[in-house]
Amino acid sequence: MIHIFFSSQRLYRTAFLDTRVIMSAEPLIALDHISLIYPGNISPAITDISFSVCEGDLVAILGPSGCGKTTVLRVIAGFERPTQGQVSISGKLVASPNAWVEAENRGVGMVFQDYALFPHLTVMQNVAFGLRHSTPHSQHEKVREVLTLVGLGGFESHYPNALSGGQQQRVALARALAPRPAVLLLDEPFSNLDPDMTERMREELLEILERTGSTSILVTHDHEEALDMADNVAVLNTGRLEQLGTPDEIYHTPTTEFVADFVGQADFVPGQISKGKVVTEVGIFENVRKIQEQTRVLVMIRPDDVRIRPCETASAQVLRRHFRGSENLYRVLLPSGQLLYSSESSTAVYPVGTTVEVHVETIHTVVFPQEQKCPHP
Amino acid sequence: MLSYDDLQALWLTLQLATVTVCVLLIVGTPIAWWLAHSRSKLQTIVEAVVALPLVLPPTVLGFYLLIAMSPQGIIGSPWLQFTDATLSFSFTALVIASTLYSLPFVVQPLQTSFEAVGSMPLETASMLRASPVDAFISVASPLALRGYITATVLGFAHTLGEFGVVLMVGGSIPGKTKVLSISIYDHVETLEYAQAHTLSGGLLLFSFITLLIVYTINRRLPIRVA
């Protein structure tokens, strides 16, 4: 049984690669200065969004709700026409002021947030929906292939309402993959799953995407999901692209305070440039951005860069311990009144009120001029 | 038990209701679809026009239709030119009048069910390379099945029972435009209560059974969209 499972997966991958045109140099999807204003609205839903996705990559669009990330996905899918800018898929212009390709002709697959399975069709019929142009025999073959791929072989005759949330999601994924789309769009695919299920489905999804060589765009509000899964992350805020980079870049060297704060926990400690260094209450840092002398700045500090040690003569104090299972997150009050979070191991337990020494050990120093409004005082 | 005249009226009524429902479903589907999905400002106006027969006295609708379908009227005169026959007091006139009169009973349930289906299944279908027409036929209309059943039954039953409009537009020509409800009226007018009872009781029973069947089907239908 296991042997058959694996060999059919290998067959599937081979079939996939054979039909694919390998284009490594040019991006598979390119968004060029896309803006969109919904009819009747004054302010744009998205403004001047540009990024591209290379073949086989997974790009995550990350942002809080209402930041326009789903709009970006809908523009790529062909559900919304951008007011400005152009979109091309596989080198072909699909949306611009002069060109328009309908959604059904773009070769794009999508997994919707609530899966959107057709309730009147069986699993088999749902997955075969995108294959109706091929012969019944090859439809059957392909459906079996993808259902095996997502681990749902044997569920062909079930109706969607008889499946669990996780199973429905697998069907939605199989259905989207079956016609072999040039790009797969994933709209918050884990938001309707139980947390413990999410972790497992993430792993599985990554494995399936890799095995099928899929190029995908994932929309999410969960920074952990984005950092964990994506090759590149595009962080959106109020319809604008704040930063585009690898998960490491986004986390360690955010270019804006919004990104610093949204992607993981961050504190902003005030400081000043003095003698070519950034001087703060918690230590002295490199002036990496070569900011002018005497400028007041904010230094981004992540909890995992902050070490605390109990010390009776110290003046910082533990205000609260958040036990997260794998870590203890401490809220520490500095003598100046500044709050700082520190991540310690799960066994390092210090009661509230403990006076502690604070050490900050950063590899990447991220400094913002203080004139910018700080979102997380 | 039923006289030849009554049987003729019954047959004519069933024919009229069947044809009218078919026309209504064909005409009502695009209107309901547009009302459910359009963001146009015209929507409210169209909605009000469709609902007019609900509040308008049937004689008012019948009166205007009679004038429009007369040999000099805006529908009747071109009709006479093309077909060489007068439109008023014909079966076709009855179908046109019934279609307008029963329009809200078909459009409203369809519109409600199309709204319940929403645009998500259509977008999903388009991601699976289905054209809009294909998506409508293979996804939206099966999902709107309840709406179609309700619309069909309401349209049929409402056409069975109409009186004022058919009397104005069709007159009361036995075998041609004299429908069941007019027969009942004639029987009562001539004090033939026994015949009136038979026809009325029959219609009452028929209406009740149809509604019973519709509600049963609706309750047991496996597809629940909303």
Residues A192 and A76 placed together within one structural domain of the fold: yes
pLDDT exceeds cutoff 70 at A9: no
Q: Is B129's CB within 8 Å of A78's CB?
A: no
Whether A299 and A341 have beta carbons less than 8 Å apart is answered as no
> For position B223, what pLDDT does the model report?
55
Task: Compute the Cα dihedral for B105, B108, B114, B116 and give only its sign.
Answer: negative
The ipTM assigned to this model is 0.77
Alpha carbon B52 to its chain's center: 14
Q: Does a structural domain hold residue A141?
A: no
Q: Is A135 a member of any domain?
A: no
Contact predicate B174/B8, CB 8 Å: yes
Q: In chain B, where are the structural domains located?
A: 4-220
A276 and A345 part of one domain: yes
Residue A18 lies in a domain: yes
The conformation of residue B72, written as its DSSP 8-state character, comes to T
When scoring B122, B129, B143, B225 by the number of chain A Cβ atoms within 10 A, the one with the most, hence best to mutate, is B129
| Residue A273, domain member (yes or no) | yes
- Per residue in A45-92, pLDDT tens? 999 999 999 999 999 999 999 899 999 999 999 999 999 999 999 989
- pLDDT for A49: 94
Subunit contact B127:A119, Cβ cutoff 8 A: no
- Contact: A104, B121; criterion CB under 8 Å: no
Q: Are residues A63 and A189 in the same domain?
A: yes
Task: Provide the token pair at A144.
Answer: 């079996």
In terms of domains, do A315 and A203 share one? Answer: no
- Structure token digits, residue B179: 């429908």
Tell which of A110, A118, A185, A192 to mutate to test the B interface (max B CBs under 10 Å). Answer: A118
Task: Specify the pLDDT at position A199.
Answer: 84
Q: Are residues A7 and A87 in the same domain?
A: yes
Same domain, A45 and A91: yes
pLDDT confidence of residue A15? 43
The pLDDT, as a whole number, for residue B174 is 84
Chain A partners within 8 Å of B225 (Cβ): 119
Non-local CB neighbours of A114 within 8 Å, separated by 6+ positions: A192, B120
* Closest C-alpha among B161, B186, B171, B176 to residue B11: B176
**Backbone torsion region of residue B125, taken as left when φ is above 0, otherwise alpha when ψ lies between -120 and 50, otherwise beta:** alpha
Question: A234 and A312: one domain?
Answer: no
Q: What CATH topology corresponds to B4-220?
A: MetI-like fold (1.10.3720)
- CA atoms lying within 13 Å on the CB side of residue B36: 22
pLDDT at A23 > cutoff 80: no
- What is the model's pLDDT at position A18? 40
Handedness of CA A105, A109, A112, A116 (dihedral sign): positive
Instruction: Quickly count: other Cβ atoms within 10 Å of residue B137's Cβ.
Output: 13
pLDDT of residue B176: 84
Single out the residue of A232, A231, A235 nearest to residue A210, CA to CA.
A231
User: For the residues A284-291, what does the mean pLDDT come to?
Assistant: 86
Mean pLDDT for the stretch of residues A281-302: 88
Is there a contact between A321 and A329 (Cβ–Cβ < 8 Å)? yes
Q: Which of A370, A364, A369 is nearest to A253 (CA)?
A: A364
| CB spacing of A175 vs B128 below 8 angstroms | yes
Judgement on whether residues A197 and A235 belong to the same structural domain of the protein: yes
Q: Which of A263, A262, A298 is nearest to A281 (CA)?
A: A298
Task: Pick the closest to residue B183 from B8, B59, B15, B1 (CA basis).
Answer: B8
Which chain A residue's Cα is nearest to B144?
A120
Tell me, yes or no, whether A117 lies in a domain: no
Inspect the interface and report whether the beta carbons of B129 and A104 lie closer than 8 Å: yes
Chain A, window 330-349: residues with a beta carbon less than 8 angstroms from a chain B beta carbon: none
B38 touches chain A (CB under 8 A): no
In the structure encoding, which two tokens stand for residue A2, read together?
Answer: 């296991």
Instruction: Specify the pLDDT at position B161.
Output: 86
CA distance B57 to A341: 75
Structure token digits, residue A135: 């012969």
CATH of the domain at A294: 2.40.50.140
CB of A44 within 8 Å of any CB in chain B?
no
Q: Is A144 a domain residue?
A: no
* Predicted confidence (pLDDT) at residue A347 exceeds the cutoff of 60: yes
B223: three-class secondary structure by DSSP? coil
Report the pLDDT value the prediction gives residue A5, as an integer from 0 to 100.
37
CATH number of A67's domain: 3.40.50.300
Give the separation between CA A340 and CA B110, rounded to whole angstroms: 59
**Residue B123 Cα, gap to closest chain A Cα (Å):** 7
Whether A70 is in a domain gets the answer yes
- CA separation for the pair B162, A327 (Å, rounded): 76
Higher pLDDT, A75 or A375: A75
Percent of chain A past pLDDT 70, that is, above it, reads 92
A234 and A296 in a common domain: no
Q: Name the nearest CA neighbour of A65 among A192, A200, A219, A206.
A: A219
For residue A352, pLDDT over 80 is answered with yes
Q: Give per-10-residue mean pLDDT for chain B (226 aa).
A: 85 93 96 91 92 92 92 90 87 93 94 92 93 92 90 91 88 85 92 92 89 81 52
Q: Which pLDDT belongs to residue A16?
A: 44
How far is the C-alpha of A376 from the C-alpha of A302, rounded, in Å?
13
Contact between residue A76 and residue B80 where contact means Cβ atoms under 8 Å apart: no
- Closest residue in chain A to residue B225, using alpha carbons only: A119
**CA atoms within 13 A of residue A177's CA, in its CB half-sphere:** 28
Per-residue confidence (pLDDT) for residue B156, from 0 to 100: 92
Give tens-digit pLDDT for A214-242: 999 999 999 999 999 999 999 999 999 99
Number of domains in chain A: 2
The DSSP secondary structure of B27-65, one letter per residue, reads: HHHHHHHHHHH---TTHHHHHHHHHHHHHS-HHHHHHHH
- Residue A195 CA to residue A123 CA, distance in Å, equals 25
Answer whether residue A21 shows pLDDT above 70: no
A103: chain B residues, CB-CB within 8 Å: 123, 126-127
Residue A315 lies in a domain: yes
Confidence of residue A2 (pLDDT cuts 50, 70, 90): very low
Q: What is the mean pLDDT of residues A302-327?
A: 92
Strand partners for A317: A333, A355
User: How close A189 gets to chain B, by Cα (Å)?
Assistant: 14
Q: Which residue has the tokens 């049929």?
A: B156
Cα B55 to Cα A324, B50, B105: the distances in Å are 65, 11, 12
Average pLDDT of the segment spanning A344-360: 92
Range of the domain at A364: 265-369
What's the rounded mean pLDDT across residues A189-209?
Answer: 86
- In tens, the pLDDT along A153-169 reads 889 999 999 999 889 99
Give the 3-state DSSP-derived string for chain A, with helices as H, strands as E and coil as C: CHHHHHHHHHHHHHHHHHCCCCCCCCCCEEEEEEEECCCCCCCCCEEEEEEEECCCCEEEEECCCCCCHHHHHHHHHCCCCCCEEEEEECCEEEECCCCECCHHHCCEEEECCCCCCCCCCCHHHHHHHHHCCCCHHHHHHHHHHHHHHCCCCCCCCCCHHHCCHHHHHHHHHHHHHCCCCCEEEEECCCCCCCHHHHHHHHHHHHHHHHHHCCCEEEEECCHHHHHHHCCEEEEEECCEEEEEECHHHHHHCCCCHHHHHHCCCCEEEEEEEECCEEEECCEEEECCCCCCCCCEEEEEECHHHEEEEECCCCCEEEEEEEECCCEEEEEEECCCCCEEEEEEECCCCCCCCCEEEEEECCCCCEEEECCCCCCCC
How many whole angstroms separate alpha carbon A355 and alpha carbon A243? 38
Whole-number average pLDDT of chain A:
87
Last residue of a domain, one of A220, A252, A284: A252
Does residue A189 sit at the B interface (CB-CB below 8 Å)?
no
